[in-house]
Each structure stands twice: as C-alpha cells, then as structure tokens.
Chains A and B, each alone.
Chain A
Amino acid sequence: EDKVVQSPLSLVVHEGDTVTLNCSYEVTNFRSLLWYKQEKKAPTFLFMLTSSGIEKKSGRLSSILDKKELSSILNITATQTGDSAIYLCAVEKIPGYSTLTFGKGTMLLVSP
C-alpha cells in the first residue's frame, strides 16, 4: 500500500524563525512529489519535484527531493503569520493520470 508520511504533524514557531517540514514516501512507480499549502479553503500548489537534488525556490519557501532517501523537505525562512497553514505533501504515480496520494499534513502556526 502506498504511504506518504509527514512530520511533524504540528509545529508552533515565532515570527522570523526558520522551519523545515518533512515528507517521506513509499510508493510504486513514483513520478513526482508535490507540496500544497492549505488555509481555510482550497489547497494551493507550491512546488512539484521530479528530479533528485534540484532545489525549487519561491520567495522564502524552498523544497528539495531526495529520491535515494525517498523523502523531501520544505523550508520556510523568516516565517510570517501568513505562513500559518496546513502544508500537504502528495506523491504522484505513473501512469500519467495525475492521481495524488496525500500525507496527513503538517499544521504550522506562526505566532507574532
């Protein structure tokens, strides 16, 4: 059975801190790993990672995939209260119908 495990499940930090969220997976026919941010509404897309060791960046957020370790990390530097959300990791499998298996998410709370 496919598994996507995220850690920690919840995290409280102060504004300005740097956080690292973890995602590990066990799936057959891996194609890509995706990160989504979910506030009180629809999950919104952050990153898609397909190649090992290549960092993707968007502002204060960055992510990298390690196919050897079957894992990915999402880093957020200089956190702001607006970063408070659930961060979901999902794995996409081949064939190319974009079916995603999600982890339980990490709930991040950034306090002022």
Chain B
Amino acid sequence: EAGVAQSPRYKIIEKRQSVAFWCNPISGHATLYWYQQILGQGPKLLIQFQNNGVVDDSQLPKDRFSAERLKGVDSTLKIQPAKLEDSAVYLCASSPPWQGYSGANVLTFGAGSRLTVL
C-alpha cells in the first residue's frame, strides 16, 4: 500500500514569510494528524482531523497556523507569518477508523517536511 505522502521535503524561508505543507494520507484512513517535531524533541500534535472535521487543535497556534482537510482526504498546513521558533519537521500521519484494541489503529507517518526559518 502507498504510504503517507508529504511535500515539500525541505523549505527555507525568512521570518514573516508564509509557507504551506501538503499531505496525502493512506487511502481509506479516516484520521489525519499534523505533528511538529523540533530538533531534540518528540513530535507534538498540532491538529487532528476525523474525515474533514477537526477533533483536536488545542495546541495549534491559531494566530499563525491554519490547517484544512477538504473532502476528507488531502490536507494543507499553513504558517503565516513564520517565526524563527517554527523551524522544525512537520510530520503528517494517518490512521484507519478505530477498530478496537487490535493494533490496526496505529499511526503511519509520512517522511516529513523540514522547515528552516531564517
């Protein structure tokens, strides 16, 4: 099965500029996540979608970050304006509809988009 696709893989921008990341989850996966991983840290959840509805965006800095998942498939994460502290890898992940404790609801991650803000 095809994995989670993300683009671009790398992006360098200056502070106050804007950037957008794209994610295409595994086909049939209802849940999509965006995680931010700063160097030396574990991934931190930014936003979680169930189909095209938001389940959790409590840690999304809404003054500068936005995300959408149109038609319950692809998703875009946008940062505007970017700050130096936004330099990180942005990981997209997806999981199938929850099927209990079978382990089938394990998240599958994409390769990530590495953002450097100068």
Q: A30 to chain B: closest CB distance in Å? A: 12
Interface size class for chain B? 20 to 34
Specify which chain B residues have a CB less than 8 angstroms from the CB of A41 in the assembled complex: 111-112
Selected interface stretch from A13-21, A59-67, A69-77, A97-105: A97-105
Residues of B within 8 A of A45 (CB): 106-108
- Also in contact, A97 and B45, with CB within 8 A (given A43-B91, A50-B101): no
Quick check: is A4 within 8 A (CB to CB) of the other chain? Answer: yes
Identify which of A32, A43, A48, A96 contacts B43 (C-beta below 8 A). A43
Question: In the bound complex, do residue A98 and residue B95 qualify as a contact, i.e. CB atoms below 8 Å apart?
Answer: yes
Minimal beta-carbon separation of A36 from chain B (angstroms): 8
Do residues A98 and B98 form an inter-chain contact, with CB atoms below 8 A? yes
Task: Bits for A2-14, please: 1 = Cβ < 8 Å to B, else 0.
Answer: 0010100000000
Give the secondary structure class of B's interface.
loop
DSSP majority for the A interface?
strand
Report B-chain residues with C-beta under 8 Å of the C-beta of A43: 43, 91, 109
Does A108 sit at the interface, judged by CB under 8 A?
A: no
19 A-B pairs whose Cβ atoms sit less than 8 Å apart in the complex: A31-B101, A34-B106, A36-B109, A41-B111, A42-B109, A42-B110, A42-B112, A43-B91, A43-B109, A45-B106, A45-B107, A88-B42, A97-B48, A98-B31, A98-B105, A98-B106, A98-B107, A99-B55, A104-B40
**Contacts from A to B (Cβ < 8 Å):** 4, 6, 31-32, 34, 36, 41-45, 48, 50, 88, 90, 96-105
